[in-house]
């Protein structure tokens, strides 16, 4: 009888242990779900934080890019302006002023008129130094004939 009672107590304990094990399993499954849920929530929260930081970093990089583009544009405009100013200064200093150009044109016209007068008065004569004494001589047109009282004048070639 005692043995029957012991078997019965053992079976009761075994049933109790079985129910406790099933409750423990259910509790472990519930705990697993709760842990997974907490991990998911924490992960989502951290990913949202990383996403926010990433968006701020992207915005900061874009503002740096815009600032760099503005600087490059300003430098380009500044360098182009300085080059243009230097070129204009060189041209301004090297080229004659309009009054100087007018003066030079007048001088050129006067020189051309003088050359024309000289051409008409014999400046186109072909003059050379001739002989051992290097005397000045002129090319003459022998076909034009001799002139003067003693026929000692000739027409200069080309006139």
Residue 17 maps to a domain: yes
Question: Would the CA dihedral through 129, 131, 134, 140 be positive or negative?
Answer: negative
Burial string for 142-159 (b: 16+ CB within 10 Å, else e) reads eeeeeeeeeeeebebeee
Residue 10 maps to a domain: yes
The count of structural domains within the chain is 1
Torsion, Cα of 93, 97, 103, 104 (10° steps): 50
pLDDT at 1: 73
CB of 108 closer than 8 Å to CB of 96: no
Residue 119 maps to a domain: no
- Residue 159, pLDDT > 80, answer no
pLDDT tens, residue by residue, 115-141: 888 877 767 777 889 999 999 988 888
Please, what is the Cα angle at 71 between 65 and 75, to 5 degrees? 145
Task: Residue 23: give the domain boundaries.
Answer: 1-95
Query: How far is it, in rounded angstroms, from Cα 101 to Cα 52?
Result: 71
Assigned token pair, 126: 């072909």
Residue 24 maps to a domain: yes
Choose from 34-38, 55-59, 132-136 the range with maximum mean pLDDT: 55-59
pLDDT tens, residue by residue, 2-33: 777 888 888 888 899 989 998 888 888 888 88
pLDDT, mean over the chain: 89
Residue 12 maps to a domain: yes
Residue 114 maps to a domain: no
For 157, residues 6+ apart whose C-beta sits below 8 A from its C-beta are: 125, 126, 138, 139, 140, 141
CB of 154 closer than 8 Å to CB of 141: yes
For 140, residues 6+ apart whose C-beta sits below 8 A from its C-beta are: 154, 155, 156, 157
pLDDT at 156: 80
Torsion, Cα of 75, 80, 84, 85 (10° steps): 0
Residue 88 maps to a domain: yes
Residue 121 maps to a domain: no
- Residue 47, pLDDT > 90, answer yes
């Amino acid at each position: 009888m005692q043995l029957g009672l012991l078997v019965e107590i053992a079976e009761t304990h075994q049933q109790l242990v079985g129910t406790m094990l099933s409750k423990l399993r259910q509790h472990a499954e519930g705990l697993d779900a709760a842990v997974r849920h907490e991990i998911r929530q924490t992960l989502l929260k951290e990913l949202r934080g990383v996403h926010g930081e990433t968006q701020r970093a992207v915005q900061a990089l874009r503002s740096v890019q815009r600032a760099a583009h503005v600087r490059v544009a300003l430098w380009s405009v500044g360098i182009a302006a300085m080059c243009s100013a230097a070129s204009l200064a060189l041209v301004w200093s090297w080229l004659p002023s309009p009054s100087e150009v007018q003066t030079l044109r007048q001088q050129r016209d006067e020189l051309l008129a003088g050359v024309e007068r000289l051409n008409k008065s014999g400046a186109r004569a072909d003059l050379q130094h001739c002989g051992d004494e290097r005397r000045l001589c002129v090319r003459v047109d022998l076909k034009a004939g001799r002139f003067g009282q003693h026929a000692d004048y000739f027409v200069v070639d080309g006139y």
